[in-house]
Amino acid sequence: MTYTVKELYVTLQGEGAQTGRRAVFLRFAGCNLWTGREADRHRAVCTFCDTDFVGTDGPGGGKFDCAGLVAAVEAAWGPGPDHRLVICTGGEPLLQLDRALIDALHACGFAVGVETNGTQAAPPGLDWVCVSPKAAAPLALTTGDELKLVYPQPLAMPERFEGLAFEHFFLQPMDGPAREANTQAAIAYCLDNPRWRLSLQTHKLTGLP
Ligand SMILES: C[S@@+](CC[C@H](N)C(=O)[O-])C[C@H]1O[C@@H](n2cnc3c(N)ncnc32)[C@H](O)[C@@H]1O
Ligand SMILES: Nc1nc2[nH]cc(C(=O)O)c2c(=O)[nH]1
Ligand code: SF4
Ligand SMILES: [Mg+2]
């Protein structure tokens, strides 16, 4: 299997229940809900994406086989053996992440997390699953560690998801021209509905990648 990677770097997890934790971010290229081209955004299934996931031209990006990708993740993390964490994102990581890569990362001491739109089944062995449903896309993955809903999406309001089998439920204000209003709306929802917690994209506040 050849993995197509947009970028690969160390940062702190900016979102959700693991916010602040050191991690290698492994951003796979490509997504099933948008081509990534601005010209196609208006007709995409997911229209609010904040990420460039096209190609392999980011820092640490490229085409890798399994051993090469694990070596790149290890080199990015550095020598310390403890608390190793790699977060697979994209684009849509579950279009590429497979059991062989998860097993090989585990063998090097990494816990493996994923940020997914939930349209694909997850391979076995993941240590942390964050599902972020998109209004116009059928949800295939209805269990996991955290459900992180970008808010507001009029056709995907929180009530639709709170019965699912997740440990944590987060609202993340939709970034874009209405970010401030969306943040206030998410705060108001969490104040009224204590099942839900606020997830701010803290890397955008601090300038981390
Ligand atoms: C770029 S996506 C990649 C992973 C996967 N495709 C997904 O959608 O979950 C990473 C995270 O950023 C969130 N996200 C994307 N665009 C956003 C925006 N404009 N505002 C807030 N969160 C956003 C996604 O919902 C997801 O939780
Ligand atoms: N620091 C940081 N934390 C993140 N958490 C989820 C991200 C993503 O794009 O999937 C992300 C990201 O892009 N940067
Ligand atoms: S599903 Fe994720 S990567 Fe794909 S367009 Fe939406 S936010 Fe971006
Ligand atoms: Mg991001």
CATH hierarchy code of domain 3-148: 3.20.20.70
pLDDT reported for residue 189 = 98
Q: Which ligand is nearest to the CA of 31?
A: 3
Average pLDDT of the residues in 34-42 = 98
134 marked among binding-site residues: yes
pLDDT reported for residue 105 = 98
| 75 pLDDT tier (thresholds 50, 70, 90) | very high
- The continuous run of DSSP H or E covering 5 comes out as strand 3-12
pLDDT reported for residue 20 = 98
Q: What percent of the chain has pLDDT over 90?
A: 100
pLDDT reported for residue 29 = 99
Q: Cα separations (Å) of 185 from 19, 93, 146, 192, 204?
A: 21, 29, 20, 11, 19
| 183 pLDDT tier (thresholds 50, 70, 90) | very high
pLDDT reported for residue 192 = 98
pLDDT reported for residue 208 = 98
Q: What percent of the chain has pLDDT over 70?
A: 100
| 145 pLDDT tier (thresholds 50, 70, 90) | very high
pLDDT reported for residue 173 = 99
Q: Which residue has the tokens 């999406």?
A: 153
| Residue of 116, 150, 205 to mutate, ligand 1, most atoms within 8 A of C-beta | 150
Our answer on whether the CB atom of 48 is closer than 6 Å to any ligand 1 atom is: yes
91 marked among binding-site residues: yes
Our answer on whether the CB atom of 28 is closer than 6 Å to any ligand 3 atom is: no
Our answer on whether the CB atom of 49 is closer than 6 Å to any ligand 3 atom is: yes
β-sheet with 111-116: strand ranges across: 62-64, 3-12, 22-28, 85-89, 111-116, 128-131, 143-151, 165-173, 197-198
12 marked among binding-site residues: yes
Complex ipTM value: 0.99
- Domain ranges across the chain: 3-148
